Structures are given as structure tokens and as C-alpha cells.
Structure 1
């Protein structure tokens, strides 16, 4: 109600239903508003079926889908409004698309530290994403600045509206690219009157599952190590390791491995108490293979749990007479003794036993003490910790013949011996690299049983190009009842495992099958000015398919610097001028976290800067110093690339990273270069940017 008072509607269509003389004016807003009779709509919710006429139709014959079937008629008017604080600022009639005038006004505004809703400017192709409720898997391939994330968030709002009787916000889950992004998008749904969906990152999920057992590398640490590494053996081995462990082939290897373990080579961890062996690993292995071979591996492990708990009970009974138990009884304080007495009396209610009998007293206390001391062991067994997942995963890299067998005769990576050695060293140190985390967790789940989540009904994955096929298959199994919406742009695939997806997001059809998957492409870029889009699309193969929205601005500047002192001086002047011109949300984008920290320290005394790291809880308005990979998904009024030189961005594998950081700019893009600019710039025709030599 408060939101509608300030801006009651943003669109109007006049629609005459087929066979009727009366034309109905239909006003659209962010929520429905009814007359006092509670039947007459004065304003329709933008998600109502009739509202699709506004987004998809044009004056003339038109139709829209209702629960009762298709409704035909004639659209006689399509009008747009910008209303602020109850006053109409802009009003005009338009045709097929949501008018360029409104978009021009919206896009010319300053960037913000939080994403806003786009309901007033949803384009036809974005509306197709928002209202798609047929596909099990919806893949949105969108160019940088095409509004794919915005469309996805409006899609969440649409689904919550359409299925409000059966779908709740806590049944929708968004996997964000980083924790910062969660805060960036957190205001969109509340702005539309909906509760926020659940949000997490894939790394947070890995940490929850494996963080107690291992020191986990996250994707940002992996990125830092690769960007800072010099060309050489380590980097080649790391990249080969990432590629192989992210592939569908490795997923198949692990699946085959668990089938093999049903027959032989299962590994267990022995059960000990106070240094004494209760059940040996060999005894456990023998018991495991005594079960009917027809029983699945997971079920056999569960049967073993029941058997081991009984064995532990037998051990506990025998242990009550041990000397250490008497020692513990003697050490009981008066308070502990009283607690034990009360607890035992409660259990003995209605029996003839008396706590006054010394022998009985000793037996009851012994039972209590042994049970208490064995509680961690019992817990360990119930959590199936006796399954030696680490040993089994280690065996894949220790035993080359096993890996070759599981790979069905296929070739292992050329540097397999080095990959295996690197992996074994990390496991020995209780470390898991990012590329190992999902395969390790997948093996663990296959052995112990998948902890599926059947409550989640819709999973949204933003920046899906940053997920490996292995990770996506894992998420599919984790949420068996969910529909999936995957949004991405392979041109922004900045991580080492991105290439595993191949050249197109079409490959995601393999996840659920082509029959259950729909791919929608958003090729028009709205974020940046025409000049910035024209410059950035020239960097990428196939960039000519990206359509620039016609909002004019300045050509990107490439500023050649001869030394570090001059570079810093020019950045300071540039930022100060931008502030004077009203550009409030700007970013100095550095290549790495290490470089970001150096730049921040060098400039913080002169400029009001804010340093962004992977632990920063939210984006802040102002001038940010930020590493390249944390700038994904957000936008700034002006972007200053700290050092876009050939010495900084030279590897072909860094092309997408450079493209991504340049596409963060809405209005101005300035690229500083210490020495010769990167070939990603010099390969572009010189009329697409202004070169300035200092």
C-alpha cells in the first residue's frame, strides 16, 4: 500500500475483448489494488495473466492466456508512465517494445549498491524468461548487461504470485556467485512485496559438508593462485587437474568406483576406545562382504551400523567392571553424584531396586559412566564415520591401474602422475582443493546415502558458466523435486573449469534431457552505453551477435602510463573529476586481491576508498577497489581498470576475465596501462576507443 501510494502504476493498456463493444482501461502496477467492492481491479498486478499484453503485445489484434483458456481481442492503447511521489514525471504511448524513452531514462540514472526491480521496463524476451513455467530446466544465455539476473528475480516473484497457494519463498533457493551478490539482490523481492527466497553460495554448501574435516580451498583462492602463478609446470598441472576433476568423465569414474566397491576393496576405519581396539577394519570389511551381494552398498553400510552398535553395546556391558570405571566413580563430585542419583531414580520409578544397595549402586553408576564415555564413539558410528572416504578417494590417485580400469581404457591426462602426486600431498595435509571438493563429496554421498532436499521446489543458479558439469549433476541429485533455472554467459566464464562446458550453454540440455530443457537467449545489452558495448563485444569471438542498446556516451579511454607514480596520480585526478560530475558509484578494478590491497594502501590517504574482499558482507556505495572476479554480476557508473597492460592481461585464458571487468561500466570506461596495452585492446579497431599517451 505504501509503495502504491508513491507510484500506483507504470503502464496502461486499453483492451476490447472479442465480441464486446466496451473497451476496458487496464492499469498495471507492482501489486493489485481493488475498489471497495473487492471485485473491481483499479490496478492489476504486473504478474496477472492480462499484464502479459503489456509486455508482449502491441496495439492491434492481441491475445493473452488465462486459466480458462486464451482470451482474444484488440489492444487500442499502450501507454507508459514514470510516477514518483504521486506525480507523473513522464507519460507516452508506445508500440511493441517497452519504449526506449523509459529505458533511456532508467538506464541513464546512477548505479546503485543494490539491484532494483525492472517490472516497468521488462522486455519481451525477458518476459519469456519470467513467465516460463513449463520447463524442468530453463537455461538463460544472456550477454553482459542483458538483464538475465533481473529477469530471474522477477521470475521468482512471478512464481510466488502464480503458485501462492502451494509455493513459499523458503522453497526457492538461489545459488549466488559470491556472498556479496546476496546482499546486492536482497532488496528486489521485498520491493515487489514478496519475501526473499533462500540464498547461498555453492562454496558455503561445501564448507557446511566438509569444512570440519578439511581445510577447503574456495574458487576465489583457486583463481588467485592461477592469476598470480607464472607460466610453468605447476600452472600446467593445476589447470589439467581442474579440467579433469570437473569433467563428466571423472563423475562416471566415481560412479563406477562405487559399483566396484560392492564387490571388493571397501575401506573402513577401525573403532577404538582409550587406545584399545573394539572392531578392526579387517573385521568390518569381512562383515561387509558377508551380506548378500544383491544388497546395495548404501544399505549394507546401514546394516553394518546396526551391527556395530550392537557390538558396542556388548563391549560397553563388559567394560562396566573395568578398573578405570571405579576410578571415575570415586572422582564423582557430590553434585555429580546427586545428579546421577536423581537420574537413576527417575528411570527406576515403579521398580523394587533401591539405590541403598552398594553393589546395585556401583552397577548403576558404572553403566551411566561407560555410556557417557562411549557416547562419542556411538555418535561416530551413527554418522557412518567408520567408512574411510578419505582412504577410498586417496586410492583413486595412489593406484593408477585402478583409475585406468575405471576410465574404461580411456587415456588419463598427460600429467597424471603430477596431478596424483599433488592431490595426495594435499590430502595428507587435510586440505581439499576446490576442484576436489565436489568429487569427494559426491563419493561420500554415494557411499553413505544422498542427503537430498525434497522441500526445495525451484533452484536458481546465477553465473552457471562458473559451475562444472560435475557440480551441476551433484545439484540435480541434491534437489530431486526442484525445477532449475540456470543463468549464464560463457563469455564471462572466468574460472579454469569453465571450458569443460564446451562452447555453448546448450550442453546443459544433457542434465535433464532436451525434452525437459528450454534455452532462451538474451542478446541485447542494456547496462552500458552503445560505445562501451561496441568496444567490449569486439573482444569476443561471436561478439557481433550482441546487440547494443542505443544509449550514447563517450568512447572508452585507454590511457598509457609510463610509471607507477604517474598512474596513481592520474587515477586520483580521474576519480576526483568523476565525483564532481556526479558519478557516485565507481570502481577501480584490479586483477587480483593482492593487487587490490596494494592499490588501496597507495591511494587511501588521498581518496575516500572502500576495499572489497571475498569476506566483505555487502557492496557499499562510493568508490570501490575490487578484484576482477568479485566484480561479476554488478555494475558501476564508471569503471577504471587499474592496469590493462599486456604484462597484466596476456594469456588467452584471461580474455574472458578482461571482457567481464570492462562490461561492468554503465556510463564511462577508463583503462589504464603501464606500458603496452593488452592485445585484447590492440586487436580491436582503433576507432572504438580513445588512446591517450602520458
Structure 2
């Protein structure tokens, strides 16, 4: 933090650039001392005289902090600057960066974290609400800079208090910079509507309906970083989870949170989060749709609680060695019936029956011989007679046993599905080649969702304080329920675009998704202004949007640049090679996107032409061939979309998949086609 006279901001440009570079050098030296200090604190902390548990906790925290400091990615230490002319911070100047830097722990910061309250003015100040900001400065850094001060190339100043507005060339250049490699953070370019979402309260669940290129994924990740900064103890205690659609996508976004100074956040897919077994089985399209249908939840609930029975109730007899205590059939039936009506988790219900039966025995003993010691109670409570009684009335079950029983036995399924699924739907679910037992079953990915549902009925899973769910438009109702169980006492950031919904069970409304996620009152916020996809591409995809069954507003682009080229041809492989060669003559990444069935042909054509394309998960490659089914969430500077009609015909919601393919381009889009275009 510094006080700077107004005239200092209008000095000779070369002198000002040298001054900012020198300041950056000072920040670099201070950061080095912070890293060294974190390591020294580990050594000091190990010598602290305390209890073993206290020393272990302190040592873990210090080592974690030192590790985080050492693993900070290299890069510029600040990207902006504020000078306040009025208000609480009048006369003060602040550099804004990705983390706080100070010469000493108690000294004023040299760089203020972008998440700090004072930093909000950097994103929100404008002519209508200057928030006391006299000057907002944006710094220009050489692309790919690792934080060398010489890479600071310039700056632009804007004076909100004087009525100046406009994004400036540096902001536009940073937004439009070619994409090569993993996703970058947007801390330097967050827009006001994005900032509102990023800084939403921890207790608020938010759904972002984001058109392509509006930065919804970046908003979700920056909100995660903001919550970790604002509520460090609560979030680290309860946990924060990032859920993406696939591993390729997670690799693409993996560097964003570390770049913002946050490491150790769990980033995974829903199926990896819930998987109890490898998904080695397959389902018919009909069976998969039924397993993802919300009606499956009621069928599973009935199947599980069908194991609870009062038909075989016998009197309970517990002997303590000197006397036998008995509970009648009527008393045991009453206990089981009462617990069953309370609908606790299945495992809790079993223990509740045990506890109430034992309490009834205790009352008998107290009336006969007075209060009994705790050891007496524990011995009878865990006796073989008690366990045998429970195994009859409320037996232990494994989710695999329950589901295998449903899918192999038509009579069991018929009883559980009566009035819920019709006979034809039940037949579609029955395994045609049942395994010998649940232990040898080959579970499908949809089965894993059902197993998680049953496991959640048996015992509630451990939850998270906050979950960020990306590409949520593709979640089935049963997948939503799996997330809801893990967010029962936390909040959600739900990200997606209904126009990009490609699964057969995709919802047509966010309200439906939010209801299944257990957050029906979450706020739905649309982002319609794109900062990634050029206007020429957006105009094209808006024409396709009109044909989709998605109630979303048309997108608009912040960018006037960009190119769109339609390449009709009789030889698609040859035209694809030509388009890729032309793209390679320019800067940036090239994504060749094709229907899954055409990927091998496209890859072979490029290889034969001397172009070695990378796999989708090889981030940073100049050219990658990507199946349409895996491209969601990714972006490339130049996209070559191969035969759109084949993408549209490839699946039930093929037009939605095509919409995804066409909106992956950051700067240029080539559409190679022999068949008529679907838009």
C-alpha cells in the first residue's frame, strides 16, 4: 500500500515503466522472503513445546503452508493498480495481484489479493459508480511471462471518477489472446456481472446459465478460490469439491486454482466420486434411461426396506447369566414399526431398534433389581441373541446385494416397482445374463449411480461445505441426487448451458435440475455476453440455437474480430488437411473436431499428410483431433469442424452436440462439409 501524488501517475511514460518494473522487483524479493519465512516457521514449529497432538497439528499446518508457497506458479505478481481519490481509501494506492505480498507479516501489503474487499473496486468501479477510484491501471505483460520484470510492457489508465469508461486495448488483448495449453485464470479480466457471482455468499447456491465463451467455468473456479480465501477455516473443515464432466476437462482446468494460490482442492468427476467399483458393464439405451430416471429412487427405496420385516418377529430373550429378560412379540413389532415410520437411514434404523429394545430391557431390570451398570448394558446390547434378533427384523445389507437382487429377480423387481414402472420397463431392466452373485457382477456406469443411491439410503455420505458442478446441464435426476446428498448441509455453484445439453436425460429447465439437486430456491443467473467466441461464430451458432429445444437467450459477443469460413467440398479428408495447414501458419492451437465415428479417418488423413495430431488430453499441442463427445468445456484458437451433419446425426441430441462443437473456437472457425449444413 502506498500514498502517491496524482502527478506521479502522469509522469514520463518511460520513467513510469521503469518505476513499475522496479516495484515488481521489490515484490519479487518480498515474495522470496515470504517463501523462506514459511520454511523457517516449519523448523521453529517443530521445536515448539506442546502436547503431541498440538505439535502434530501445528507441524502439519506449517508444512502445508510452506509447500503451498513453494508450489506457487511463476508469473507476474500484479496485473492492476487502484488509486483512490475519495472515500475510506482516499490518497491510497494498491497494486492488485493473485495473492497478497508484504515485506513483513504485519507490514502493509505491497500487493493486495484480488479477493480482498478493497480489490472489488478494480472490477466494479465505473463512471456511474466510481467507488472513490481516481485511477484504475491495467498492466500489459508479455504473453507467457514467467514474472520477469522486463516482461512488463506497458499500462493503461482509466479515470472512473472523471467519467471515463471503456475496456481499453490491454483488456481486450488479454481476453482475445490465443489459447494454447490449459485454461488460464481470469483474475485480471473479471467483468462486473462475473464478479457479482464470484463473491456470492458461501450460504447461497447459485446456478449460472452461461452461453458459450461467457466464462462460466472460470467464474465457478474463481468463486471456489474466493470462498477459500474468505472462509478458510469453514471451507477447509467441511471441504470443497470441483466436479467436471470428464478427465480431459479436469486436465484443462487443473492449473487455474494453483495460479490463484489455492492448492489441494479436490477436482474429480461425479463417477469417480461415487464409484464403488469399476464400470465394466454396459446397458441398453432403454435400460440406461430408466436407471437415470427419478422414479428409480422410489424403486430402490422399496427394495431396500423390503428387507425390514415384522412377519417373522419372535419374542426377544436376553440372559445376563442370572436372569433372562424377555420382550414380547407385540413389543418388538411396535418398536420396529415405529422406527420404520420415522424413515431414518437404514443403518441408523437398525441401531435405533437395538437401542430401543435395550432400553425396554433396562426398564424391566430397573423395576426388578434397580439401575444396572453400563457394562451390563453394553454386554446385552452386543450379545448374540440381540444380533440374531436384529438380523431377522432389520438385517444388515450391502447396496450390491439389493441392486443385484432387483436386476436378477423379476418377482423382486415387480414388487418394488409396482405402480412405478410398467411391465415393459421392468423387463428392460432385468439382466439377460445374470451373474452368479453380486460379487461377480459387471456394473455399468448407470448401476454405479444406483448403488450410490442405495448407499445413501443405508448411511448418509460425508458432505462438503461447497461443491462446484460444471456442465450440469447433462446431469440426470439420479446423478443430481448423488450430488444433493453430498451438499445437504452445504451450498452449490451450478454451471452449465441448456443449449449444450447432450445426454438423453438432460433437463429442459434449470428449475428441474435444481429441484433434484436439493436447491430449488437457488438463484439462476444468465451470462449472455461472450468474451471468447467471436461475433462471426456467435451469429452462426445463434441460427442453430433457434432449432434447439432449449429456453435460453441468444448469445452476443464482446469481440468484433474472428473469422468464419465455410468449406464445401467433395473430399472432406483433403479439405480438412488444407484447413489445418492454413491454421498452422498462424498463431495458436488447432482443434480438429469430428463425429466420433469419423475421428479415425480424420486422424489418418492428417498423419498421411505429415501432420501428427495429439490426443485430446495432450494439452499444449498445436494440433489435436478430438471426438465431438469429448470436446465440451475445451477451447482452441482455431477450430476445424468436420462434417457437421455427421455430428448432428450421431446421437439423439446431435444438434446440441453440434452447437458445442461450433462454439469451441476462440478466434477462427473453419467448417468443412460435403453434406448440407444443419443450420
**TM-score > 0.5 by shorter chain:** yes
Tell me how far apart the structure 1 counterparts of residues 502 and 455 of structure 2 sit (CA, whole Å): 29
Match of 2:508 in 1: 502
Counterpart check, 1:162 vs 2:227:
no
Q: Which residue of 1 aligns with 2:418?
A: 405
Kept after mapping to 2: 8 A contact 1:263/1:293: no
Query: Following TM superposition, by how much is the alpha carbon of 1:141 offset from its aligned partner in structure 2, in angstroms?
Result: 1.3
Task: State the distance in 1 between where 2:232 and 2:465 align.
Answer: 13
C-alpha distance in 1 between matches for 2:129 and 2:187: 24
What is residue 90 of structure 1 aligned with on the other side?
A: 155
Deviation at 1:117, TM superposition (A): 1.0
Q: Which one of 539, 543, 559 corresponds to residue 538 of structure 1?
A: 543
Higher relative contact order (CA 8 A, sep 6+): 1
For 2:76 and 2:469, the matched residues in 1 are separated by 32
Matches within 5 A, 1:285-296: 292-295=336-339
**Superposition map of 1:210-609 within 5 A:** 210-211=277-278, 215-217=280-282, 238-263=284-309, 292-295=336-339, 297-299=346-348, 388-394=401-407, 398=411, 401-407=414-420, 412=422, 415-416=424-425, 419-421=428-430, 423-425=431-433, 430-446=441-457, 448-450=458-460, 452-454=461-463, 456-498=464-506, 501-504=507-510, 507-509=513-515, 511-515=517-521, 517-541=522-546, 545-555=554-564, 557-562=565-570, 566-583=571-588, 585-592=589-596, 594-609=597-612
Kept after mapping to 2: 8 A contact 1:650/1:678: no
Give yes or no for contact 1:29–1:45 (8 Å, CA) kept in 2.
yes
Whole-angstrom distance in 2 between the partners of 1:386 and 1:655? 38
Per the alignment, residue 677 of structure 1 pairs with 676
- Per the TM alignment, residue 487 of structure 1 is displaced from its structure 2 partner at its CA by 0.9
Distance 2:237 2:566 in 1: 46
Contact 1:174–1:197 (8 Å) recurs in 2: yes
Q: Distance in 2 between matches of 1:526 and 1:533?
A: 11
CA separation in 2, counterparts of 1:667 and 1:7?
25
Could you tell me how far 1:477 is from its partner in structure 2? 1.3
Partner of 1:15: 84
> Distance in 2 between the 1:459 and 1:477 partners?
11
Deviations 1:642-675 (CA, angstroms, capped at 9, x unpaired)? 222369637762111000011011111112223x
Q: What is aligned with 1:172?
A: 240
Q: Answer yes or no: is the 8 Å Cα contact 2:593–2:626 preserved in 1.
A: yes
| Separation in structure 2 between the aligned mates of residue 242 and residue 80 of structure 1, nearest angstrom | 51
Offset from partner CA, 1:15-50 (integer Å, 9 cap, x none)? 244489x43233322222335694333332111101
C-alpha distance in 1 between matches for 2:586 and 2:170: 23
Q: Is the 8 A contact 2:594 2:647 kept in 1?
A: no
- Secondary structure at the aligned position of 2:110 is classed as strand
Normalising by the residue count of structure 1, what TM-score does the alignment of the two structures yield? 0.68
Say which structure is richer in strand.
1
Alpha-carbon contact 2:641-2:672 (below 8 Å) kept: yes
* Distance of 2:166 and 2:190 partners within structure 1: 7
Would you say the 8 A contact 2:595–2:650 is kept in 1?
A: no
How far 1:248 sits from its partner (Å)?
2.5
Deviations 1:138-177 (A, max 9, x none): 2111111110111111112211211234433992211111
Contact 1:143-1:524 within 8 A present in 2 as well: yes
In the aligned structure 2, how far is the partner of 1:132 from the partner of 1:521?
15
Offset of residue 612 of structure 1: 2.6
1:230-254 C-alpha deviation (Å, 9 max, x unpaired): xxxxxxxx55444433232322332
Kindly tell me: are residues 658 and 530 of structure 1, through their superposed partners in 2, closer, same or farther at Cα, counting changes over 3 Å? same
User: 2:336·2:353 contact (CA, 8 Å) conserved in 1?
Assistant: no
Q: For the residues of structure 1 that align with 2:520 and 2:105, how far apart are their CA atoms?
A: 48
Mapped contact 2:473–2:501 kept (Cα < 8 A)? yes
Q: Distance in 2 between matches of 1:39 and 1:532?
A: 50
Q: Which residue of 1 aligns with 2:45?
A: none
> Shift in Å at residue 457 of structure 1?
2.1
Q: Flag the 1:677–1:186 CA change in 2: closer, same or farther, 3 A.
A: same
| Deviation for aligned residue 1:489 | 0.8
* Residues 135-150 of structure 1 aligned to structure 2 (within 5 Å): 135-150=203-218
CA deviations on 1:421-467 (whole Å, 9 max, x unpaired) are 5x454768933333333123312442x423x124x322111111121
Number of aligned residue pairs: give it: 530
Alpha-carbon contact 1:591-1:627 (below 8 Å) kept: yes
For the residues of structure 2 that align with 1:668 and 1:75, how far apart are their CA atoms? 37
